[in-house]
């Protein structure tokens, strides 16, 4: 691995060595994650203060920051701990400068009686008198030019003042080197972006409020640098994966054709397209790394099954991993008929398999007597050995970490990977999070799925909802009732679910209502689900364990309590649990008043559309990227300057540019490639160099 370029050494030194930053300031910065000068460079001002000189405070809107020239008239010293006051007058108004525990001798030197000074600071009214506490600037009248007309304000950390932050940022700017340009020249010209150092200078020296907006040329360029470094790293990972040898898995398609011929419907164009893309990947001698993204009910399971048919027909094995046992068993139920039709030997392995039963399954798997293994993370365990694993499918990919996915694909020689998600992800996030993958999108729904009517009801009318359910149950319908999301406490969420369960049993009959939540034992969960699927219970009270994959065709009503606390994508997922049978279906969103304007706008989007991609875009706009994917579980990159919500086009441009650069210069040896290497180091992307064939 190559070492960091010498030109960057100053930016990776210690913050405490910067001019004006002492040990205390350095410790405060470090506590906020700013440990190197380069971290300061990318900590940009978020607001600013207008310091233009006024003639007088008369007519000024209090409170606010003002700069004015004054005459010092007199001092008022209070005994004890009271403030020290300096009485001053500007061209039209008398007011006071107020200091607490000052060095009086120093203060009288700064503000001598009878002389004029320029003062700048926050002014407020106290008992009708204007006061400026501890002016931030005191200058001689002939020094007016020293004061910036617009002074930037930085995000503050405890123990540091604005002045110290500004000093530190400027000190970091002074040691920033001139770096060779890594951006494609035509892009720079098109967007009129400044060079890297000029962009930093402009971003740290805004002249007006408009200069703080993300669409200024300087900030756009700096955001692009972050996105480009991220996309270049993903492109290197992609190129490396493409170089990794794979097994060419080729089949005539007999098993898949047999399966499709037995279906009671015709696959959609999107399903056929995704299957064709996967079969082409499997036939290549490089490893597949593909994301299958489909809206609720778009038919990902059929696509996965046809992919597995190809692998088994070619003599290999396939594994499909789900995040929960409920979902793994659901897959087993929904795929069993398809597997039998195609003549595939399918088995399931979960944490519940122990003793002789587990040993028998592992023995059959190692002997090649199982074609497809479904399961939870129990599939990873060391004693799980395949005869010839060719395809690893991970369902609900965002529930698994990268290392878990790698452990599954490590179960065979040169395994192809297909990951699936039922959560439509806005394109900008897909590029950011899955940029090294090829992406197939299922954007059509199978024919025959009826629209779901969505209604919004206040929790004050919950009794009316229960009455409506009584009628629906008599009519043979089944109902999901999802309890409120209580993020602070799983115990509270559990309590809410159990209370609702008891209330509904009283209202609708003891045998009519079942309960499923995360704390139940596997056997109890399965029993509750089995009773509901069989129609023994009519209402299933649940926490969000029913969010993904649970398929009960007879369930036609989804009630979501405390709907205002769920993300739009999650509401969409839950709603997708109904509307799978022949009946018209409905979703009832119960909210707790009072609801904010934003809250009602979010719920109305659910009423307006069933398009998961539109909903995901709205969710991104209203909630932000971190909330949408869940930063902890998604590994979503954290950017200092770039904002995925408003700069999604920049991400697309960065992806195209990164791929273009690697096509022209795969080893980053050319002039622009060398500059890009410096950028990768600057952005802490050192690991990217492990992905290059030559350091």
Which residues of the chain have a pLDDT value below 70?
Answer: 1-2, 244, 396-410, 412-413, 427-429, 431-436, 448, 486-491, 493, 545-550, 622-638, 645, 691-695
Which residues are within 8 A (CB) of 163 and not within 5 positions of it... i.e. 6 or more apart?
A: 136
What CATH number does the domain located at 254-442 have? 3.40.50.300
Q: Report the relative pairing of strands 555-561 and 585-591 from DSSP bridges.
A: parallel
Q: Minimal CA–CA distance to 240: which of 289, 284, 279, 293?
A: 289
Separation between Cα atoms, residue 255 and residue 155, nearest integer Å: 61
Question: What pLDDT does residue 400 have?
Answer: 53
Fold match between domain 254-442 and domain 452-609: yes
Question: What pLDDT does residue 498 have?
Answer: 87
317-321 β-sheet, strand order: 346-349, 372-375, 317-321, 389-394, 416-421, 289-294, 438-442
Separation between Cα atoms, residue 157 and residue 167, nearest integer Å: 14
In a 13 Å sphere around the CA of 566, the CA atoms on its Cβ side amount to 27
Question: What pLDDT does residue 634 have?
Answer: 40
Give the CA angle between residues 586, 588, 589 to the nearest 5°.
140
Separation between Cα atoms, residue 94 and residue 111, nearest integer Å: 16
C-beta of residue 546 within 8 angstroms of C-beta of residue 581: no
If you write DSSP's letter for every residue of 117-186 in order, what string do you get? EEEEEEEEEETTEEEEES-SEEE-GGGGGGS-SEEEEPPP-TT--HHHHHHHHHHHHHHPPP----S-HH
Domain boundaries, the chain: 52-147, 254-442, 452-609
Question: What pLDDT does residue 550 have?
Answer: 63
Within 527-672, strands assigned E span: 539-542, 555-561, 585-591
Question: What pLDDT does residue 359 have?
Answer: 94
What CATH architecture applies to the domain 452-609?
3-Layer(aba) Sandwich (3.40)
CA distances from 293 to 267, 280, 443, 645 (A): 16, 18, 9, 20
Q: How many CB atoms lie within 10 A of CB 498?
A: 14
592: preceding bond cis by omega (within 30 degrees): no
Question: What pLDDT does residue 399 have?
Answer: 52
Backbone angles phi, psi at 385, to 5 degrees: -120, 130
C-beta of residue 179 within 8 angstroms of C-beta of residue 194: no
Question: What pLDDT does residue 410 have?
Answer: 66
Question: What pLDDT does residue 435 have?
Answer: 67
Query: Alpha helices, DSSP H only, in 298-423?
Result: 300-313, 325-342, 355-366, 402-409
Separation between Cα atoms, residue 279 and residue 266, nearest integer Å: 19
Q: Which residue has the tokens 């009270």?
A: 541
Q: Which residue has the tokens 């789900």?
A: 322
Separation between Cα atoms, residue 121 and residue 140, nearest integer Å: 15
Question: What pLDDT does residue 31 have?
Answer: 78
Rg over alpha carbons for the chain, rounded to the nearest Å, is: 32
Backbone angles phi, psi at 191, to 5 degrees: -95, -5
CA-based end-to-end distance of the chain: 5
Backbone angles phi, psi at 502, to 5 degrees: -65, -45
> Any idea what DSSP says for residue 245?
B
> Any idea what DSSP says for residue 387?
S
pLDDT, tens digit, 9 for 90 and up, residues 622-650: 665 544 444 333 444 568 898 876 787 89
Question: What pLDDT does residue 401 have?
Answer: 53
Work out the burial of residue 522: count CB atoms within 10 Å of its CB; fewer than 13 is exposed, 13-18 middle, 19 or more buried: middle
Separation between Cα atoms, residue 539 and residue 536, nearest integer Å: 9
pLDDT, tens digit, 9 for 90 and up, residues 342-389: 999 999 998 888 889 999 999 999 999 999 999 988 887 888 999 999
Question: What pLDDT does residue 158 have?
Answer: 73
What CATH architecture applies to the domain 52-147?
Beta Barrel (2.40)
Question: What pLDDT does residue 183 have?
Answer: 95
Q: Which residue has the tokens 């059959």?
A: 364
């Amino acid at each position: 691995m190559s070492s960091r370029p010498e030109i960057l050494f100053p930016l990776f030194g210690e913050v405490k060595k910067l001019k004006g930053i002492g040990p205390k300031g350095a410790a405060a910065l470090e506590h906020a994650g700013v440990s190197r000068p380069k971290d300061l460079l990318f900590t940009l001002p978020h607001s600013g203060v207008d310091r233009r000189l006024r003639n007088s405070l008369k007519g000024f809107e209090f409170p606010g920051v003002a700069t004015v020239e004054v005459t010092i008239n007199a001092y008022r010293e209070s005994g004890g701990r009271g403030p020290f006051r300096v009485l001053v007058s500007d061209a039209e108004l008398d007011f006071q400068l107020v200091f607490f525990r000052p060095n009086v001798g120093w203060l009288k030197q700064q503000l001598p009686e009878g002389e004029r000074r320029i003062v700048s600071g926050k002014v407020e009214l106290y008992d009708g008198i204007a006061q400026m506490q501890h002016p931030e600037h005191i200058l001689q009248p002939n020094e007016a030019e020293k004061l910036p007309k617009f002074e930037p304000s930085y995000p503050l950390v405890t123990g540091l003042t604005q002045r110290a932050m500004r000093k530190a940022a400027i000190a970091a700017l002074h040691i920033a080197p001139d770096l060779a340009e890594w951006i494609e020249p035509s892009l720079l010209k098109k967007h009129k972006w400044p060079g890297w150092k000029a962009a930093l200078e402009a971003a740290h020296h805004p002249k007006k409020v408009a200069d703080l907006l993300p669409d200024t040329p300087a900030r756009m360029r700096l955001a692009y640098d972050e996105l480009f470094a991220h996309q270049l790293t993903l492109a290197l990972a992609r190129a490396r994966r493409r170089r990794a040898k794979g097994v060419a898995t080729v089949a005539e398609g007999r098993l898949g054709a047999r399966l499709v011929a037995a279906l009671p419907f015709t696959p959609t164009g999107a399903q056929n397209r995704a299957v064709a893309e996967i079969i082409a990947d499997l036939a290549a001698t490089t490893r597949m790394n593909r994301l299958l993204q489909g809206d609720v009910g778009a038919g990902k399971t059929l696509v996965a099954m046809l992919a597995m048919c190809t692998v088994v027909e070619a003599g290999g094995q396939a594994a499909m991993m789900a995040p929960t046992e409920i979902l793994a068993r659901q897959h087993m139920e929904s795929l069993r008929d398809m597997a039998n039709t195609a003549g595939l030997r399918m088995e399931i392995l979960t944490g519940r398999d122990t003793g002789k039963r587990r040993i028998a399954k592992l023995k059959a798997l190692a002997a090649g007597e199982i074609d497809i293994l479904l399961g939870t993370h129990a599939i990873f365990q060391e004693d799980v050995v395949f005869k010839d694993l060719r395809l690893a499918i991970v369902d609900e990919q965002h529930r698994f970490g990268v290392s878990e996915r790698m452990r599954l694909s490590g179960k065979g020689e040169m395994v192809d990977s297909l990951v699936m998600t039922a959560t439509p992800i806005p394109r900008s996030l897909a590029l950011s999070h899955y940029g090294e993958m090829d992406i197939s999108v299922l954007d059509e729904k199978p024919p025959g799925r009826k629209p779901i009517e969505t209604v919004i009801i206040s929790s004050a009318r919950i009794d009316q909802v229960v009455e409506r359910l009584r009628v629906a149950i008599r009519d043979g319908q089944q109902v999901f009732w999802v309890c409120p999301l209580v993020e602070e406490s799983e115990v509270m969420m559990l309590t809410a679910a159990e209370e609702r369960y008891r209330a509904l049993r009283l209202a609708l009959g003891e045998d009519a209502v079942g309960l499923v939540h995360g704390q139940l034992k596997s056997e109890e969960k399965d029993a509750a689900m089995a009773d509901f699927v069989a129609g023994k219970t009519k209402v299933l009270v649940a926490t969000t364990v029913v969010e993904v994959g649970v398929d009960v065709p007879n369930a036609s009503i989804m009630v979501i309590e405390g709907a205002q606390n769920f993300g739009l994508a999650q509401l969409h997922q839950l709603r997708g649990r109904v509307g799978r049978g022949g009946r018209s279906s409905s979703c009832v969103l119960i909210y707790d008043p009072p609801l904010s304007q934003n809250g009602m706008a979010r719920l109305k989007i659910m009423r307006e559309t069933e398009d998961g991609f539109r909903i995901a875009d709205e969710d991104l706009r209203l909630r932000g990227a971190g909330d949408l994917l869940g930063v902890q579980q998604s590994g979503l990159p954290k950017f200092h300057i770039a904002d995925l919500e408003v700069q999604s086009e920049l991400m697309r441009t960065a992806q195209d540019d990164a791929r273009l650069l690697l096509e022209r210069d795969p080893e980053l040896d050319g002039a622009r490639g060398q500059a890009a290497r410096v950028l990768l180091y600057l952005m802490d992307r050192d690991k990217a160099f492990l992905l290059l064939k030559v350091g």
